[in-house]
Copies of this chain bind each other. A is one copy, B any other.
């Protein structure tokens, strides 16, 4: 067997080798190949990292000897020797995964120094202070980054030294001070680590490489990976590069720069640099760097060379570059280049500009913007300046994006009265958790903050639908409804106190932070037009009321994929009739109550059709268990009993009889229509009459789409469909109309997916309810999973939340089966998704592969879905 190659000189790689070399390594190799001035070195591959974990967190002998061999090659290339005081080779060690990962170990500089080498280095550079400064930096960095010692202990020693010398700046310390510091640092190391600081450069190197490997698995990296869907098994590469020094004098320096402005997208070099400094000084912020344009005056030749390189790199990579460079004694070295991170606004401008400049085509442009970024264009954000000064008091889940600032209220009624009376202009609704009864309160609130509930809790789902900012599941909050206050971070906040929450980060602030409104630039329109032209799947929205429907259309939705009918029932005028229906003892009583609901429901649909016109709108019949509509508190029950003219004890018995052990798997969905066909009759009457009326009134031709939820068996669908068809046909005939309509079903029960061939015979379309399908396929309730999912992430059993990103292996197999079986029976059956995953780019990519016709998501995710679907179509076409 051929020996596996784990190490690559920069001259052996190229930009296409990201998977093995990581992003940093691949780009260093690429720059080397195209003749840029890059300090040479080598990359320990991501496969070596995987091997390290496979070997039980050990670097095996084979890879160890490879590393030594490649150090030898580096020595040849640089003409210097690792550990040789006469002509020492010093190196930097940096992590570099396939995708940029801020959670990991970053950089160790000056590795290779020890008590002997530093002397030679001092002689060679003829600068003792510089040499010992480099050495103390190395000891400090190694101790902190590699050995995870406390950073502040070292800072304290430096501060003591400065105090003792009566100086303020590090630069005021001299060579002897640096020597003292090194000594003290090593003493601290011995004390804390129980062994001497490693003087053998090879040992330093191996420890540093191991530290990079280890950092792949630290908690921050794991969290970042989960958030960004980076698989654990990718591993990270390690780059070992010859040091160049920007801190050797006034003819040296270091800096970072972008080829375009990462905040605005403006085409001009943007960045900053420091003379006589090492990279960490720029970051540390002790000295203020100069804008890159000043370099033009300070070092014109270097600036000219750098400008040329920057332009060449942008041309080469055909994207805005983010570069690091060092000037050593007047000579420019490139330490890194990568596609630069940018704001959403900049991303749009750059993508459009690159097309206008002829550098990329429109499809490529569409791929250049991260769909998730668009969120920030659609929601208010905190004023950036004000945010800088703010300190969060806690953190929950980033459940619905945007920033909000308002006065605390604790229930929906208070929210409504406070806002309607004008007593408060902006409120944040703080709840243990929300329920459908809170909707009207959520509508008037700037933001919603809950103690319990995950990313798909009621609060999160409804808030995303409304485009309202929401932070959910902040378990540290202790709410006291009685005294209308909550405690968090040691402080108590009362009703009326100002707080701010950031639904994009989950952060909570105990103060008012001003927000700025969302703004959409002209680039957005142009860019989204390209996306829409490329897209194959339709993008619909989930909307239950005319305002949401209009919002969805404004955001480019092509129809409504899910109009839930139950939300319409919570309005106080209607809920009474709903409750009357539930409490009714017989069909007659139910029909009487339903007759009261009918006009409301019909006018709801009429209003929706007036907004939507002929665009498709899928109306889902009553889904939740009936007990959700009933009060739970004794006094509310008594009130209701009084209203309905029944005994309180009787009403309590009804409520008790409706109680379920596992309500998610209880009497809901089409099971309600099977038990009480009169509900489906009423809903059909409302839909069909509304469509007939609006069609006639504004002279259009509406085709209602009726969707039956929770189907698990074809006979079940047939039974409910028969009621729908019988009712609808009678009304259409009576109206002398030839209106067409469709009857379809949700696919959200595993059995529906497994028997999709049978069900397709009775369905005009399938819409995947991926939330429930995920719950049942995994066998866990999203309301309860919070208790154990943490352990699953910690132990890497799950890398992702299956409610956020569609599980391709299990749930995805059911989606695929459904599509295949359904089309087998009915080749043109409509296929779409109306669960939360319909707005998730990763899931959309999979759904495109499955050949679905549409996705449907909350209105505020429509632009994201449009872009994600376009990208999915392009990627799918390329495979």
Contacts and interface: CB of A to CB of B under 8 A. Distances in A.
Interface string A307-340: 0000000000000000000000000000000000
A751 B775 contact: no
Nearest to A783: B661
B792 A674 contact: yes
Interface string A744-771: 0000111100110010000000000000
A749 B778 contact: yes
Interface in A649-663: 660-663
Nearest to A676: B791
A719 B810 contact: no
Q: Chain copies in the assembly?
A: 2
A870 B776 CA distance: 35
A713 B798 contact: yes
A665 interface: yes
B665 A664 contact: yes
Contact of A719 (B660, B777, B783, B795): B795
Contacts of A758: 809
Interface string A772-791: 10011111110110011001
A792 B814 CA distance: 25
Interface string A187-210: 000000000000000000000000
Contacts of A798: 713, 715
A779 B772 contact: yes
A240 to B, nearest CB: 33
Nearest to A772: B779
A395 interface: no
A666 interface: yes
Given A666-B784, A754-B814, 16 more contacts: A662-B665, A662-B781, A664-B665, A665-B784, A666-B780, A671-B780, A675-B791, A712-B780, A712-B810, A713-B797, A715-B797, A750-B777, A751-B778, A754-B813, A755-B810, A776-B776
Contact of A779 (B663, B750, B783): B750
Contact residues on A (Cβ < 8 Å of other chain), bracket: 35 or more
Interface in A800-828: 807, 809-811, 813-814
A154 B664 CA distance: 54
B778 A712 contact: yes
Nearest to A713: B797
B813 A779 contact: no
A716 interface: yes
A796 interface: yes
Contacts of A779: 665, 710, 712, 748-751, 772, 776
A663 B666 contact: no
B662 A755 contact: no
A667 interface: yes
Nearest to A774: B751
A783 B791 CA distance: 29
B667 A787 contact: yes
Contacts of A809: 751, 754-755, 758
Interface string A682-722: 00000000000000000000000000001011011001000
